[in-house]
Structure 1
Amino acid sequence: MDSPLVSVIITSMGKEILKKSIKSVLEQTYKNIEIIVVVDNNLLFTDSITKNVKVISACEAHNANKSRNIGIEEAKGEYIALLDDDDLWLPDKIKIQVEQMQSVHKEGHYFSYVQTALMKNGVINRHVYPKQGIKKNEKILNYFFGHSKGFIQCSSFFGDLELFTINKFNEEVIKHQDWDWLINAQKLPDLNIDFVPQILTYYTVNSVGTSVGTKQRWRYSEQWFDNYKDTVTEYAKSNFYSKVILRSLLYDNSLTTTEKKIEIKRVLKNISIRHSFTYFKSLVKIILFFSKSENNIN
């Protein structure tokens, strides 16, 4: 088997945490790799680890999708792999994805993703996501929020350059960017989605509101989801409202308690009582939140 060049695109704010992600790429057992780091402005540190890395300024883009597109345009590789600067790869990640691609890919565009372990405050969670791959003809949002309980995170993305070129990241999307890309990619008639059932990525989980991806943009999430609500099952819709919108709404400090309660009642109407477990979990989530808030006041 040949060893095609893989372009690794890392998007970053330029902080020192980037060094760990670069190190995890440099330690890959697959060596035919070019590393392109797209920073929001400039690197905020100096270190020899960047000597073999192409660093590009996104001119204060403040937009991960724009940064990804810039990196993809600069890529020389036959294949693209994406990595966020607070995530890490295990050493065989690219090697295994290349080998899997070469063993199963016949024609059309190829995309693969791997199992991911969650990492918080440097501690690796023993739980692994996802447990199973996406089924043929299963819609992305149904895979994520339906009974499959799927999970595809950007730092596990791997695919051919042309796929990322014709299906660019939508720079107007400010949240759920990887989900949005996947939904659009799935519209391509010749896309092959492949799942590698091995833990090869560590994904950093941030507390609600502590990073760009977790800020309380629940109104935007609802507007974004409205574009795709006709493609999902009622069960997936209920889970989306419970896990994404309600979770973020509860921590929206811009709302008064009265405003928050009004919005919660409205959101609950989108969580079907027919799916009793999801509905009950949502109620428990609300009760615990307000109970904790009252205790903090007292």
Structure 2
Amino acid sequence: MYINEIDGISVVIPTTGRATLKRAVDSVLRQSVENIEVLVVMNGRDALPDFHYDERVKIVRNPPGSGANHARQTGITRALYSFTALLDDDDFWLPDKLMHQIEFMKSVSAKRGLCVIATALSDSVKMDKNSIWPRDRFAREVTDVQDYLFQRSTLWSARRQLQSSTLLFSTSLATEVPFDRKTRLHQDWQWLLQVESKLQPTIAISSRVSVICDKASTGITAQTKWSDSMVWAENNLDCGRKSYGDFILGVPLRFAMKAGSFDGIVLCLRHGMGAKYSAPALAYGLLATAVFLLRKLASTLNATVRRLMLQKRGTAN
């Protein structure tokens, strides 16, 4: 099917029943395009909001603990339409998100109708410049997913992303290359890398902000272990390219810092510097590590000073 023959859009929303689910569903129902179905895939048997007010919403049940990718693929296998969009249950769309993507899709050269179209997103409803991803906001075709996402050209990140809630794609892509139901981290990145390798679709990102993401979400990415992220990179990225080293000096290193793991920081730096890397990525990794260590030192000194002051007061009494 070619892009001028869009029969409708199936929207898949994986959920565990979070309070933000209704907001996500309502943002889909307010879209300006016709022929939409909303597949809410619930991982578990907890109660869900009542969506009987709109027949376009369908509830699908998955076993508890199935994971987001399992839910996505379950929804995709039930999709009625030739195009599918994903939405996480803690994110929501602006009203013209799908219409804009359809128009943008028609402006790019889609191969045999196989395409993935993403949009910019904001991690704040204020949509100020510091909350927008990617930072380099211009429409572009992504010719290499690994390099686009991970290779660092400047010290400060361009915040490039191809996040699941921004994606609209040909349903046939996820039929031929399903989301790995066992994958629990970097899920959208892994699927895009696999689709790019096997089917070579047109992948493009629009500069228009169309998605609001929940910055405070405690989702899988926020809980990822640095060691798991390193293993993922070894299994899914081309280790002979600079973007691999840049990934290690960026993503797993940040997870190690969040966990306060000195061993993790050392291993990430050693592994990243042992591979090919760009100069900005190395500078970022070393600078971020220095800032982390200075903060830890300051925290330790403050705790020591407070303890000595309490001891002094106790002696005086």
For residue 181 of structure 1, report the CA deviation from its aligned partner: 0.3
Change in 2 beyond 3 A, CA 1:232/1:77: farther
Matches within 5 A, 1:247-258: 247-252=254-259
Aligned to 1:242: 249
Deviations 1:79-136 (A, max 9, x none): 10000001111111111112222444362411111111113xx654533222245656
Residue 180 of structure 1 pairs with residue 193 of structure 2: no
Larger CA Rg, structure 1 vs 2: 2
Aligned to 2:60: 56
CA root-mean-square deviation: 2.6
Deviations 1:134-174 (A, max 9, x none): 65642x22211214642110001111111111111112211
- Structure with bigger strand share is 1
For residue 54 of structure 1, report the CA deviation from its aligned partner: 0.3
Residue 16 of structure 1 pairs with residue 19 of structure 2: yes
Residue 155 of structure 1 pairs with residue 165 of structure 2: yes
Percent pairwise identity: 26
Matches within 5 A, 1:93-104: 93-104=97-108
Structure 2 gaps, min length 5: 305-317
Matches within 5 A, 1:109-128: 109-119=114-124, 124-127=127-130, 128=132
Residue 224 of structure 1 pairs with residue 232 of structure 2: yes
Equivalents in 1 of 2:115, 2:183: separation in Å?
24
* TM value normalised by structure 2: 0.80
2:38 match: secondary structure: strand
Residue 278 of structure 1 pairs with residue 284 of structure 2: yes
Aligned to 1:197: 207
Equivalents in 1 of 2:294, 2:76: separation in Å?
44
2:238 match: secondary structure: helix
- Kindly provide the amino acid, as one letter, of the partner of residue 170 in structure 1: D
Q: Number of aligned residue pairs: give it.
A: 286
2:118 match: secondary structure: strand
1:145 counterpart (131, 143, 150): 150
The question of whether the paired residues in 1 share the 8 Å contact of 2:6 and 2:83 is answered with no
Equivalents in 1 of 2:103, 2:140: separation in Å?
20
The question of whether the paired residues in 2 share the 8 Å contact of 1:16 and 1:44 is answered with no
Equivalents in 2 of 1:169, 1:125: separation in Å?
33
Deviations 1:244-282 (A, max 9, x none): 2122122337xxxxxx33332222113439725223323
The question of whether the paired residues in 2 share the 8 Å contact of 1:15 and 1:44 is answered with no
Equivalents in 2 of 1:156, 1:250: separation in Å?
28
Change in 2 beyond 3 A, CA 1:151/1:137: same
The question of whether the paired residues in 1 share the 8 Å contact of 2:146 and 2:237 is answered with no
1:266 match: secondary structure: helix
1:86 match: secondary structure: coil
Aligned to 2:179: 169
The question of whether the paired residues in 2 share the 8 Å contact of 1:241 and 1:270 is answered with yes
* TM value normalised by structure 1: 0.85
Residue 74 of structure 1 pairs with residue 78 of structure 2: yes
Residue 5 of structure 1 pairs with residue 12 of structure 2: no
Change in 2 beyond 3 A, CA 1:83/1:162: same
The question of whether the paired residues in 2 share the 8 Å contact of 1:10 and 1:85 is answered with yes
1:81 match: secondary structure: strand
The question of whether the paired residues in 1 share the 8 Å contact of 2:18 and 2:90 is answered with no
1:155 match: secondary structure: helix
- Kindly provide the amino acid, as one letter, of the partner of residue 252 in structure 2: I
Matches within 5 A, 1:74-93: 74-93=78-97
- Kindly provide the amino acid, as one letter, of the partner of residue 248 in structure 1: F
Aligned to 2:315: none
1:168 match: secondary structure: coil
